[in-house]
Amino acid sequence: MHSSLNPAVLRDLRAPRPYPAVSLAMPTHRTQPDNAQDPVRLDNLVREAVRQLDVDPAVTRERRDDVVAELKAAVAELDLAYVRDGLVIFAAPGEHQAWVVDRTVPERVVLADTFLTRNLVAADAAQRPYWVLAVAADRITLWDGRGERVTEHTGHGFPQSRSLERPDSERKERVGDLPSTFHSEETRQFFRDADTALAAVLRAAPRPLHITGDPAALALFTDAGSAAHDAVQVPVGGLAQATPETVARAVGPARAEEAERGIADALAALERARGGNTYAAGVDEVWEKASDGRIHLLVVEEHYRTTVRAGDGHLQPAADDDVDAVHDIVDEIVESALETGAQVDFVPDGTLADAGHVAAVLRF
């Protein structure tokens, strides 16, 4: 199962596939007794996907059998005991993937020549991805943070490590010529190498950065390079060898403070936009501006979802069982905004009650 989205993975998912590329999405449950229904609902959804493949005249029998086999392989690899709030399965000739997300998704089956990625994109944005760099004199690790979870990043040369033992250390101790760990040129070079690797990561996937370590390590790392100059410093040592849970707890207070500042900044930006012609509110108006690429900042309540029908350039409310309705219009707005370079901020439910639960600052 996959859970970490990055630009390279997203580009691959959005690439055209031989028809039919099947996207299957369903809400899931983390706890009992609600999660008992998940296997049954998944089985029913796979049956619906097979039915659509069977009745589609554009799908040959060979292609149908290939995609059905991939769907069943994806389901067989799942462990529904470890799902979260949503499940997305992709299957196409010769390939399959299953994604678990920390955001509910509407139940649906889509056959197309590309995979449906908007639910993954919106879930990823809602988690506010961040990096955590844990610095020590002999080891530097990088952590991929999404919400309350962190996992170790093992690309771009991370983790980096070295031995602190020097062959001639005893002789230098006798003559008083042994530099301290954080004053040695070896440590400075070690940190410079890590700074270069970190800069490559931030270019590939720009995110807020937290850097942890003893105060001496933090001072030397920021002095040795430039990649971490704008990072939030968390002066806690020992995290380069720590568990993911320990790293997440250590940066939790700093992340909470950042989130509060981010909410205040987003609301202040919306208030300033009200005074001019750079403000939009409500799902219909914001959807229109997102489609036109006019959004600079999109602000959405965390759990806001609505079902609509699109027609004549406007959205109309629709029932959840309307087969022609769009059930994930908010995720579609988020994806459109991100694709055109907008910033997307999620705020607590009820924060934008007077704005229809979604609002935006416009570029023009």
Q: What is the pLDDT tens value at each position of the chain, 364 positions in all?
A: 787 788 889 999 999 999 999 999 999 998 888 888 999 999 999 999 999 999 999 999 999 999 999 999 999 999 888 889 999 999 999 999 999 999 899 999 999 999 999 999 999 999 899 999 999 999 999 999 998 899 999 999 999 999 887 655 444 444 344 446 777 889 999 999 999 999 999 999 999 999 999 999 999 999 999 999 999 999 999 999 999 999 999 999 999 999 999 999 999 999 999 988 899 999 999 999 999 999 999 999 999 999 999 877 789 889 877 878 888 999 999 999 999 999 999 999 999 999 999 999 999 9
Let me know the angle formed at the C-alpha of 234 by 211 and 162, rounded to the nearest 5 degrees: 45
The pLDDT value recorded for residue 177 is 41
Let me know the angle formed at the C-alpha of 332 by 282 and 341, rounded to the nearest 5 degrees: 90
Q: Are strands 149-153 and 343-347 parallel, antiparallel or unpaired?
A: unpaired
The pLDDT value recorded for residue 81 is 85
Non-local (6+) Cβ contacts of 358 within 8 A are 281, 282, 283, 286, 298, 299, 300, 301, 304, 330, 333, 352
Using a cut of 0.85, tell me whether the model's pTM lies above it.
no
Which helix (H) or strand (E) segment is 267 a member of?
A: helix 244-274
The pLDDT value recorded for residue 180 is 64
The pLDDT value recorded for residue 6 is 84
Six token digits for residue 342: 């907008």
Rounded Cα distance between 147 and 149, Å, is 6
The pLDDT value recorded for residue 312 is 78
Rounded Cα distance between 45 and 56, Å, is 17
The pLDDT value recorded for residue 179 is 46
Which helix (H) or strand (E) segment is 103 a member of?
A: none
Rounded Cα distance between 208 and 205, Å, is 10
